[in-house]
Structures are given as C-alpha cells and as structure tokens.
Chain A
Amino acid sequence: MEQENTRDKDFYWKLFKSTFLISTFTVGGGYVIVPLLKAKFVDEYHWLDDKETLTLVSVAQSAPGVVAVNAAIIMGYKMAGLRGAFCATFATVLPPLITLTIISYFYSFFASNHYMQIVLKGMQCGATALIIQVMYDLLKKQWSKKVAFPIMITLGTFIANYFFNFNMMYIVLVDALIGLFLLQDKKYE
C-alpha cells in the first residue's frame, strides 16, 4: 500500500479538484457521495477497481464517523498513502465549511431564493442519475457472477434499509457475521 506514495503532483491536484467539486455539488450528504466518488475514481479515472472500492467502503461504514468522510479518507490512503488521505479529507470537508460559513450569514436569502432552489433541485436529479448508473453497474456485475449468497445479502440489506429503516450499524453487523461464518470461501470474493 505504501509504495503508491510516489504519485506525481498532477495526481494530487486531480484528486483534490474532483473530490472538492463532488463534495460541493452533492446536496443531501450522507451516503450519496459514495457512489459519486466511485463513479469518478473507478469508472472515470481507473485509480481503483470495483472490488477494492467496495472493500474500502465496507470498512468506512463499519467505523465511527461520517461515511462520506471515512470513505474519502480510506480511498485517498489506498490511492496515495497519508498524503492522499489528507488531500481527499481536506477536499471533502472544505466545501461544506465554506458554504456553511457563508450561509450562516445569509441564511434567509439562501433559503428563500427561488432560482437557487431550482438549480439545487436539478443537481439533486443529476446526482440521482449518477447513483442509479453506479447502482445498475454494480448490480449487473454481481448478477453476472451467479453466486446466490452475495445476491441474497444485497437484497436483504436493501429491504432492511429501505423498507424497514433498520439502523445501518445493525445491518452491517449482521452482514459481517454472515460473512464471518458462511462466506470465507474464495468463490464469494
């Protein structure tokens, strides 16, 4: 992992710029930024592959803290060591810091500006399209492997989270236990 420290300047600038912009334009927070980072780092830049990303996000959401920030930290670290982690974290945190500082002075203007609302709404739709694309892609790949157990976990997690609003922490814990006892075989990778 450490050998990847030898990234050039251009890499850090690209990492910072893309993470900063995704964080800026991603309204709603939380889990939304994860598929967008995946779309950028994996599908656009090919800095990571699907499996690595899913592993890193698994770790990110099993630890304390905000998933979006955790994911940025660990993906940055995987791609370029401590410097990458720092760069990605800084780029994730800076946009809300800037916007919120400005907005805390102009809140009433911002909240009531009609055109601002429409643009933000449009961005929300754009983000949705990106999430659906990532989701479609991952589901298709998983389906094509034709291994029943992981597909059942995906489905079960989706139902527990979407329909029953179970606390994410419990869902993740149950899935980890299922994995620990039943999925150690290589064919489940």
Chain B
Amino acid sequence: MIYWELFISFCWVGVFCVGGGYASVPLIQHQVIELHHWLTMPEFLDIFAISQMTPGPIGINAATFVGTKVAGIGGAITATVGFVLPSFIIMIILAKLLARYGDLGAIRGILNGLRPAVIGLIASAGVMFFTLAIWNTQKIPTNLASTDLAGLLVLAAAFIAVRKKIFGVIQTLIAAGVLNLLLSFIIK
C-alpha cells in the first residue's frame, strides 16, 4: 500500500537525519529516487530551488512534494507525519530525561558546553543570513558592487523597529516584505 510505503520511507529519513539542515538530503534522495523511483533527479533538484524561497525545512518540503506527487494530499500528510513522528517521540523522551536527570554533574556539564554552542550557531546563521540578504552570498562578500541597497534599508528599518519594540516578530516580517515591494518602485 502506497500510504504505508510513504510513511515508512519518511520515518526512516526522520530517524537517521542527524546533523540538521541539508543532512537529510542524501537520505531523501536514496529513499525517493533510488529505492522507490517516486521522483526523477531534476524533480528532486526543483525541490531544492523551491525550498530556498518557501517556508519550512527541506525535509518537510520534500515529504510534502513527494507525497503530493505520489498519492495526492493524503500522501503529503502521510509522508509529513512519518517524517515528524520519530522527532516527536525522541524529543518527548529527551525532555522527560532532562527534567529528571538535568541536575546530574555530567549532564549539567554537557549542557554547559552546548548552550554557548547554540549562541555560536545562531551567530553563524545571523551572519550567513545577513550576507545572503544583502550580497546574495553565504560567505564574506568580495564584490561590494552587488550590494542590495533596498534590502539594506529594509534590514536597517526592521532592526530599529525590533529594537525599539515598535513591531513584534510577525509584524516585522510582514512589514519588511511590504516595504521591500514599495522600495522596488522607487529604487531603480
């Protein structure tokens, strides 16, 4: 049965996708292209392109896209649930363990090592997103001529709005989208 196969395939991806972000890509590729032939390679690459400009992690996007293609909306839901279910179970177990054993010296040590790491990773995402938004590259820009002026203005305005607590999170995102559209009629 196709729903069951979708469910199991994406469960598999969910369990073994360790390391976040693009770590899931080879796993999905194996399940979806090589094992089940649900997608072709060009279709798979399309999912990449789509994931860059739509909400959601690539794993969820792939699950939805593949599910829709193979078995309609029911397929999309089945694949997504399959993908998320292992995470859900593992996270609840870890949360319970954390509540019970979080005070043990060893666990406290590990968490004391990981908390500053999270700050480092957030900083890394911040810098990456900054250069991506303004210079369209994840690395330090070499060609300053490609600076997106409108983007820089939107970013600065959004930053001030957030720091001064004028806007909340959601309003900031929407206002930034609208402002960029307005600026596009004025700048060039």
**A binding-site residues for B, Cβ under 8 Å:** 1, 18, 21-32, 34-36, 39-40, 44, 51, 54-70, 73-74, 77-78, 82, 85, 89, 93, 95-97, 99-101, 103-104, 107, 111, 115, 117-135, 138-139, 142, 150-151, 153-158, 161-162, 167-169, 171-172, 175-184, 186, 188-189
- Contact assessment for A157 and B57 in the assembled complex, using a CB-CB cutoff below 8 Å: no
Q: Which residue of B lies closest to A57 (CB)?
A: B118
26 pairs, CB–CB < 8 Å, chain A vs chain B: A1-B95, A25-B174, A29-B57, A36-B169, A44-B169, A55-B102, A59-B114, A66-B57, A85-B91, A93-B80, A93-B84, A99-B56, A107-B46, A118-B181, A122-B179, A124-B151, A125-B134, A132-B126, A133-B159, A138-B122, A158-B121, A167-B23, A169-B19, A172-B114, A179-B109, A184-B105
The answer to whether A169 touches B52, judged by C-beta atoms less than 8 angstroms apart, is: no
A39 to B114, CA, bound (A): 20
A66, B122: Cβ atoms closer than 8 Å: no
Q: Which chain B residue lies CB-closest to A21?
A: B170
Residues of B within 8 A of A62 (CB): 114
Take A95-B55, A133-B159 as given contacts and tell me if A122 and B180 are in contact as well, using a CB distance cutoff of 8 Å. yes
> What is the minimal beta-carbon distance from A38 to any residue of chain B, in angstroms?
8
With A121-B180, A139-B119 as contacts: A69 and B57 at CB distance below 8 Å: yes
Given contacts A64-B18, A65-B90, A100-B50, contact A58 B122 (CB under 8 A): no
The answer to whether residues A126 and B158 also contact, given A18-B170, A96-B56, A188-B112 and a CB cut-off of 8 A, is yes
The secondary-structure label for the interface of chain B is: helix
Closest chain B CB from A139 CB (angstroms)? 7
Are A29 and B51 in contact, CB atoms less than 8 angstroms apart?
yes
B113 close to A100 (CB less than 8 A) = no
Chain A binding surface SS class: helix
| CB–CB A35/B170 < 8 A | no
Within the complex, the shortest CB–CB distance from B7 to chain A, in Å, comes to 15
CB of A150 within 8 A of CB of B99, answer no
A54–B124 contact, CB under 8 A? no
Write the chain A residue with the least CB distance to B87. Answer: A65
Distance in Å from the Cβ of B42 to the closest Cβ of chain A?
Answer: 12
A18 to B125, CA, bound (A): 21
Q: Is the CB of A157 within 8 A of B116?
A: yes
Do residues B87 and A126 form an inter-chain contact, with CB atoms below 8 A? no
Known: A60-B91, A96-B60, A100-B56. A131 touches B117 (CB 8 A): no
Q: B24-65: which residues lie under 8 A (CB-CB) from chain A?
A: 24, 46, 49-61, 64-65
Q: Does B132 contact A (CB under 8 A)?
A: yes
**Min C-beta distance of A141 to chain B, whole Å:** 9
Cβ–Cβ contact A25 & B170, under 8 A: yes
Q: When A96-B54, A122-B179, A125-B151 are in contact, do A157 and B20 touch as well, CB less than 8 Å?
A: no
B78-119 CB contacts (< 8 Å) to partner A: 80, 84, 86-88, 90-92, 94-96, 98-99, 102, 105-106, 108-119
